[in-house]
Amino acid sequence: MTGFPIGLHKPVEHDGQLPDAADVLIIGGGVIGVMSALFLARKGQKVVLLEKGRIAGEQSSRNWGWIRQTGRDIDELPIAMEANRLWPQLQAELGEDLGLARLGVAYLAEKPQSIERYETWLNLAKPHGMDSRILTSAETKALLPGATRRYHGALHTPSDMKAEPWVAVPALARAAAAAGVVIRENCAVRALDLTAGRIGGAVTERGRIRADQVLVAGGAWSSLFLRQYGINIPQLSILAQVLATEALPALDMPAAGNDRLAFRRRTDGGFTLAEGGWHRLFIGPDAFRHLWPYREQIKAHPFGASYHPAAPKGFPDAWGTKRSWSPEEETPFERMRVLDPKPVEARQRRTLAEFAQLFPALGAPRIKASWAGMIDAMPDIVPVVDHAPIEGLSICTGMCGHGFGIGPAFGRIMADLITGGDVGHDLTRFRLSRFSDGSKMDMGPGL
């Protein structure tokens, strides 16, 4: 791998004429859009999935690849557990290697207070049948062969997994296409087509498509898109960065980490590393507009983000980004086909040095690729998964940095929500109206 594998340099894989009509039109070719499309097609729906850039070009290829139940919000946990069952099934059905492995996930405690938080979560998670356990300091040492740091302990879930994001999501998209989904890359949706106040389809940069149902799964762009229709989601996008090392000697250990350092081994023998607790928020009009709902999050992690006065040109919350447009004109979605933020290289080198100090036996790791992504954050750290107040419109967005692992289950849920099937879980916590119905912000016990 030289540089990041998915971007505008990658040839368009899904191209062709746009159909005139579909049962369901999906906006966004990340893991949520792709998995919803696959499950809808399996239910016999005619699905068109439109992606402004490349399938998985944004968050869905840029993530750490953790498929994690550990530390989930308790209302998300049964959904994460369903995803944990779905991933191996999907890999078997596709007959393609998604890089899936049951490595386990461990949260590493540097302070006794972290263990107390893990215990609180574990007491709530246990009744769901989770196999998570708090490890002692000695057990944690045994879990991380050669680690030089002594941890107070860890929260360990052996059943957690990893997959290789930039391999898995494009493979799942190919499976969706094989199941009959019409996927088009380089095709932005500019606007909804509303007829008598309900969904009649959408206007794309290549013309109109009729559809009775539209799903917005636009990741960091969803709130910009939805505000055209008076749907206000307090979603912000925050930069998170990752680096990949060259292949290193094998070490048998789980994906593990904390705010200082997160690491997991990739299928190609290298490690994917990140400074777990560091993010950058670019200040823009939405950051001001939504400051109030984020007050709890800022209070809990006052130094969790570095603040920058302005986003680069064309980003969803950049000062110059258009907030409204007509369907006949070029939109912000076409102007930024793949959101590809620059990582802060000095911090990347620090992360690499941190990893090298933790595992000196691995020698001097070298950076193979370095990248960043824009996470679609929500004030209460759970997504919006709901019907919208416009008939025929559904939303699945705001995955808050943990949508890759849970993606297959939210895809299955959206297929049922849209077709009137049994969603199988209580989605109350993920309702759109929680930001406007006077509810108190519920930060949940997620870690």
* Contact residues for ligand FAD, defined by CB under 6 A: 27-33, 50-53, 57-60, 62-66, 188-189, 217-221, 225, 240, 242, 333, 373, 375, 397, 399, 401-405
Question: What is the smallest separation between the CB atom of 255 and ligand FAD, expressed in angstroms?
Answer: 8
Beta carbon nearer to ligand FAD, 152 or 225: 225
Nearer of residues 147 and 395 to ligand FAD, judged by Cβ: 395
What are the residues facing 385 on neighbouring strands? 396
**Min CB(53)–ligand FAD separation in Å:** 5
> Least separation, in Å, of the C-beta of 182 and ligand FAD?
14
Distance between CA atoms of residues 91 and 109, nearest Å: 33
Query: Nearest residue to ligand FAD, using CB?
Result: 30
3-state secondary structure 267-300: CCCCEEEECCCCEEEECCHHHHHCCHHHHHHHHH
Min dist CB 290 to ligand FAD, Å, is: 18
Report the residue number, 6 or 134, with the smaller CB distance to ligand FAD: 6
Q: Six-digit token pair at 319?
A: 């000062």
Return the number of the residue (152 or 162) whose C-beta is nearest ligand FAD: 162
Query: 296 burial class (0-12, 13-18, 19+ CB within 10 angstroms)?
Result: middle
Q: Is the CB of 137 or the CB of 287 nearer to ligand FAD?
A: 287
CB neighbours of 367 closer than 8 A, spacing ≥ 6? 243, 244, 245, 246, 348, 349, 352
Q: Least distance from C-beta 112 to ligand FAD, angstroms?
A: 26
Which residue type is seen at 431? R
Question: Quick one: which of 136, 360, 325 has its CA closest to 228?
Answer: 325
Task: Say which DSSP state 250 is in.
Answer: -
Nearer to ligand FAD, 59 or 213 (CB): 59
User: Least distance (Å) from ligand FAD to the CB of residue 40?
Assistant: 15
Question: Whole-number minimum distance, CB 380 to ligand FAD, in Å?
Answer: 15
Nearer to ligand FAD, 147 or 220 (CB): 220
**How far is residue 233's CA from residue 236's CA, in Å, rounded to a whole number?**
9
Smallest distance from the beta carbon of 147 to ligand FAD, in angstroms? 20
Instruction: Using DSSP, state whether 385 is helix, strand or coil.
Output: strand
Nearer to ligand FAD, 152 or 370 (CB): 370
DSSP 348: H
CB-count burial class (<10 Å; 0-12, 13-18, 19+) for 406: buried
Alpha helices in 136-200 (DSSP H): 137-143, 165-178
Residues 163 and 101: their CA atoms lie apart, in Å, by 7
